[in-house]
Amino acid sequence: MTQPPLILASSSPRRRELLASLGIEYSIIKPEIDETQHDGEPPLAYVRRLSKEKAHAVAEQLQSQATILAADTVVILAADTIGIDGEGEILGKPADADEARAMLKRLRGRDHLVVTAFTLLKAGTESSNHTQDVQTRVTMRDYTDREIEDYIATGDPFDKAGSYAIQHPEFRPVADLSGSRTNVIGLPLDEVREALIEMGYKVAK
């Protein structure tokens, strides 16, 4: 039985690379949705909603059967640095160097939570087939102000939630983490692999 085409509803180069590592052929359609957080909407509800809306936005563009994979990642900074319940302040992508600097200083030497929600949706269905959020506890190292400035100068923070990439070879901002590393990059591979297998896809180990 031929498996239906897989579509990644994301333009993120990091998600493209991670999904490619599973050995599945896929195409890309960028979803166009309003990503504004609703008033009073908790971060976990917000990121799950976005993953569903992205999947449905792409499904509406299709004329044939396919499975859509959509994901959204947020950095949650809780006042008590616990935040397992998903309550806390979302640190999104910085608009400029000042915002990136402020975020990196707030994260320095602290724990925060990185949550990625992903949705797998079979086009033509009225509800999401699978939506799941994956949480990783991240501890940042005590980097210096000079390191922050050097990192900002690379331009890397500006398309990253929380203003950083765990995989950056020079900055290396993370001291420790508990959970999925690929989740922090943008797509929790183990969980996505299991979900795809359940939907009948042959996936590389």
Q: Of the listed 72, 133, 156, 159, which one is catalytic?
A: 72
> Annotated catalytic, 39?
no
Q: In this structure, what token pair is assigned to residue 30?
A: 């960028």
Closest Cα partner for 150 from 175, 170, 174, 166?
Answer: 170
Q: Using CA atoms, how far apart are residues 28 and 10, in angstroms rounded to an integer?
A: 7
Token reading at 4: 């239906």
DSSP per-residue codes, 81-107:
S--TTS-SEEE---SSHHHHHHHHHHH
- With CA atoms as reference, report the closest residue to 138 among 107, 169, 105, 106: 107
φ, ψ (nearest 5 deg) of residue 46: -60, -50
- Of the candidates 85, 81, 147, 159, the residue with the CA atom closest to the CA atom of residue 115: 85
Instruction: State the CB neighbour count (10 A cutoff) for residue 18.
Output: 20
Q: CA 88, 128, 71: angle at the middle one, nearest 5?
A: 50
Contact yes or no for 118/51 (Cβ under 8 A):
yes
Positions marked catalytic: 72
